[in-house]
Amino acid sequence: MLPLSENIASVPQSATMAMNNRSKEMIAKGIDVISLAVGEPDFNTPAHITKAAIDALNRGETHYSPSRGIVELTKAIADKLNNDNHIPVTQKQVLCTSGAKDAIRITMMACLNPGDEVIILNPAWVSYDPCVKIARGTPVHHPLNENFQVDESLFEKITDKTKMIIVNSPSNPTGSVLERSSLRILADACIDHDLYCLSDEIYEKLIYGKEHVSIGSLPDMAERTITVNGFSKAYAMTGWRLGYLAAPEGVISYADKVMQHSVGNVNTFVMWGGVAALTGDQTCVESMRKEFEQRKKYVIGRLAGMGLKTAPADGAFYAFINCGGDDNATANLWLDKAHVAATPGFAFGAPGWIRISYAASMERLEEALNRIESVL
């Protein structure tokens, strides 16, 4: 057999998906597994968004669209970024993608040359590293400090090969939110060393008692920031696969080439759902955020009662738990003995930690924590 890609061979399988797949195998055997491994809201997509997509289907919105997205959606995204995030972008600086993950992949393909280094702040979402490798870049991991913030040690990782820094706030997996002081250090690094910044803001609407600041809104950062976002988390649209990136026009033109020669364009009638999400009543977003906040308080309180320390859970819907030992062994113990699926921290570059999602009903969360406590 002919050899396959050595580049893809270097990309690991997703530990999150591996744990989720294993839990589903157990469920298929009749075992009552509570899966807290995957970050997916348990709410249905709000009705007005679903209706907009159905209406689009009924009026025949089933054909190819412009590769950057329908103009109604690119305008809604540009308006949202200008008004909510204070990022000065035009409609021509927006590209719609098949989910935020695809926006990250496309960005890497558009920006990186072989050997270009991308700094990833650990703990980090599992797919940043593979997206860099698939684009033949080189991931360089740098740990956040003990408060899950950025400090001046970041500058030690910058070399003449560094091209980009990835920022994720609120964070998956930690739930922490970067303070303005951290963002200022990141901005200074990008400006001083002429770097791009990819800012993944998919959890921006799920924040509790903190302020979300888009790094692209800081002085001199708009021309070097690629802002990535989507609809999966805030609007419970995970299966819709709709995201976007906003960037300087040079980056967008290259990203558009990647889109044209891969997907072509995002699913047309899905984009009409995105228009309804951004331009419609936002009460649904706040309602889900409040429910997640109540779950967070319960979960963090229960874990503290068990003597388990967690990262600051100021955003997203994750509890990042210091398990004080082998995270992979602990995660498998919880699955085998407690029938609760969680994701080991090594997947996020944080051995000794475990991530659980509280995007589940209070009833299931209570049962899951009872089971974990019994194992402990």
Q: Nearest-CA neighbor of 48 among 271, 276, 230?
A: 276
Q: Strand 162-168 relative to strand 196-200: parallel, antiparallel, unpaired?
A: parallel
- pLDDT tens for residues 244-262? 999 999 999 999 999 999 9
* Token couple for 31: 């075992």
Secondary structure class of 305 (helix, strand, coil): helix
Phi/psi at 262 (5° precision): -130, -90
Q: In the chain, what are the domains?
A: 6-45+283-375 (3.90.1150.10), 63-279 (3.40.640.10)
**Contact yes or no for 178/154 (Cβ under 8 A):** no
User: Which residues make Cβ contacts (< 8 Å) with residue 307, sequence separation at least 6?
Assistant: none
CA atoms of 374 and 57, how far apart (whole Å)? 50
Q: Which residues of the chain have pLDDT under 70?
A: none
The residue type found at 309 is K
Q: At what angle do helices 362-375 and 283-305 cross, to 10 degrees?
A: 20
**Contact yes or no for 64/264 (Cβ under 8 A):** yes
* Residue-wise DSSP of 207-247: BSSS----GGGSTT-GGGEEEEEESTTTTT-GGG--EEEE-
Q: What pLDDT is stored for residue 376 in this prediction?
A: 86
Radius of gyration of the chain (CA): 20
User: Which residues make Cβ contacts (< 8 Å) with residue 359, sequence separation at least 6?
Assistant: 39, 40, 41, 42, 292, 295, 317
Greatest Cα pair distance, the chain, in angstroms, is 57
CA atoms of 158 and 332, how far apart (whole Å)? 37
Q: What is the dihedral of CA 107, 109, 170, 286, to 10 degrees?
A: 50
Q: What pLDDT is stored for residue 15 in this prediction?
A: 77
Q: Strand 309-310 relative to strand 243-246: parallel, antiparallel, unpaired?
A: unpaired
Residue 168, CB-side half-sphere exposure with 13 Å CA sphere: 26
Alpha carbon distances (Å) from 46 to 16, 205, 243, 274, 284? 27, 15, 17, 11, 7
What is the end-to-end Cα distance of the chain in Å, rounded? 49
H helix or E strand, kind and range, residue 166 = strand 162-168
Q: What pLDDT is stored for residue 10 in this prediction?
A: 86
CA atoms of 229 and 178, how far apart (whole Å)? 17
Q: What pLDDT is stored for residue 74 in this prediction?
A: 98
Q: What pLDDT is stored for residue 14 in this prediction?
A: 78
Residue 285, CB-side half-sphere exposure with 13 Å CA sphere: 20
Q: Nearest-CA neighbor of 68 among 237, 209, 354, 264?
A: 264
